[in-house]
Amino acid sequence: MLGAFWNYHAELAKLFFDWKYLNNPFSNKINIALLLSDSQVVGMRGAGILSLRVQGTKQLAACVGDSWIDSNHRGKNQFGRLSECLEQTAFNNHCRLILNMSASDKVRKSSLKNGWNQVAKSETLTAVKPDSESFSKNFKHFDQQFIHPQTFEGGILVSSNQLFVEPVVNLQKNVPVSDSIDIDRTTDYLHWRYLRPGVNYRFLYLFEKIAGENRGLPPLRSFVSLCTPSQIQPGHVWVSDYLCMDLHVMAPLLHMLIQKLDFRSINIQDTEELAPLRESLTQSGYKIDVSKANPQYVLERYRRFEERLDTGRQAHAKTCSLKGFCHRAINLDSA
């Protein structure tokens, strides 16, 4: 069911499900709403739980992402009923913020009519260099790219296949609070995030340059994580996360990295501070495309869900257990 939705083979789909829903460090309960008919699952809607920083305040959020309804049971507002059931589940699991990505303007407008609020618009910058040939070797041996100390913007660059958790956590604490919604990069989150099945990660660090002998790692100024999903063609890379004390450093840092590894294709969330990156990559022979024609809209809902669910629908939304998982389900046979 979800393997086809994720475009994963059965074994990888099982590993990804366990990672996302069962091993999530922010909730000990699975957050999935099911649609049942004749004791069979004919639909589902799921949400991963994350701890976010919203204007500096920590909020537990349910990030809606996985949805499926059997073709024989579509219509009759089954999707809406699953959504309401999932929101109630998230509320019961202490989430006060629901985030949803709307991939089209039509869906966005429909969501806004149903009580959602738009908080952001996410656009992807894609840089393509068709004649790149050296990517696979460079990514595989990423830890050897800066094996000799190299300075950049007054700091020391380190490339690694290893995640340095403590420096990243400390960097998060020192980065100025912004008005945006951001991940709360805790130790538990970082250990969990970078164990995602089917994805290969590499890391770039920019440390402070400290004179004299130094025990342990010096303070971290910038952090970039890169990934290449195993099921996508070699050379296709995503910048999965970045964090920086000075955002003006990020564009030249990424440009240097992209040029050195000779990426064939790279995707990154387009933001205002990365505007110089578009120009510099174009000058280096990359073709740039920004997905302004079909952006994703980040929607959120703050709502006391128990007041919105009417008595009739609550009667058919029951807590049940399927193979030991706790979730809520709508039973069509009793509806």
| 120-140 CB burial, b ≥16 within 10 A, e <16 | eeeebbbbbbeebeebeebbe
β-strands 150-152, 117-128 pairing: unpaired
Please give the backbone phi and psi of residue 177, each rounded to the nearest 5 degrees, phi first. -70, 135
- What percent of the chain is predicted at pLDDT more than 90? 12
Rg over CA atoms, the chain: 22
Q: What is the DSSP string of 111-132?
A: HHHTT-EEEEEEEEEEEE-TT-
Q: Give 228's contacts (C-beta < 8 A, 6+ positions apart).
A: 139, 199, 200, 234, 236, 237, 238
Helix (H, G, I), strand (E, B) or coil at 23: coil
Please write the tens of the pLDDT for every residue from 225-234: 988 866 555 5
Indicate the range of 54-68, 138-152, 198-212, 273-287 predicted with least confidence.
Answer: 138-152
Q: Give 213's contacts (C-beta < 8 A, 6+ positions apart).
A: none
Q: How confident is the model at residue 136 (pLDDT cuts 50, 70, 90)?
A: low
Are the CB atoms for 82 and 73 separated by under 8 Å?
no
Provide the H-helix boundaries in 196-288.
250-261, 275-283
Q: What is the rounded average pLDDT of the residues 113-121?
A: 76
Q: State the CB neighbour count (10 A cutoff) for residue 9.
A: 11
- What secondary structure letter does DSSP report for 333? G
pTM over 0.85: no
Locate 129 and state its tokens: 């260099």
Please state, in angstroms and as integers, the Cα–Cα distance from residue 176 to each residue in 142, 290, 309, following that order: 30, 27, 39
Please state, in angstroms and as integers, the Cα–Cα distance from residue 208 to each residue in 213, 214, 222, 273, following that order: 13, 11, 9, 22
Residue 285 has pLDDT above 90, yes or no: no
Rounded distance, CA 163 to CA 139, Å?
Answer: 15
Set out the domains of the chain in order of their start, with CATH numbers: 2-96+302-334 (3.40.630), 124-293 (3.40.630.30)
Nearest to 305 by CA among 87, 110, 64: 87
Q: What is the rounded average pLDDT of the residues 230-242?
A: 72
Please write the tens of the pLDDT for every residue from 71-80: 888 877 788 8
Rounded distance, CA 201 to CA 199, Å?
Answer: 6
Rounded distance, CA 237 to CA 228, Å?
Answer: 5
Q: Which of 52-56, 154-158, 165-169, 318-322 has the highest mean pLDDT?
A: 165-169
Nearest to 265 by CA among 77, 84, 130, 122: 130
C-alpha angle 247-253-258 in degrees, rounded to nearest 5? 135
Locate 291 and state its tokens: 């997905």
Rounded distance, CA 113 to CA 185, Å?
Answer: 33
Instruction: Provide the pLDDT for residue 217.
Output: 77
Q: Give 166's contacts (C-beta < 8 A, 6+ positions apart).
A: 187, 217
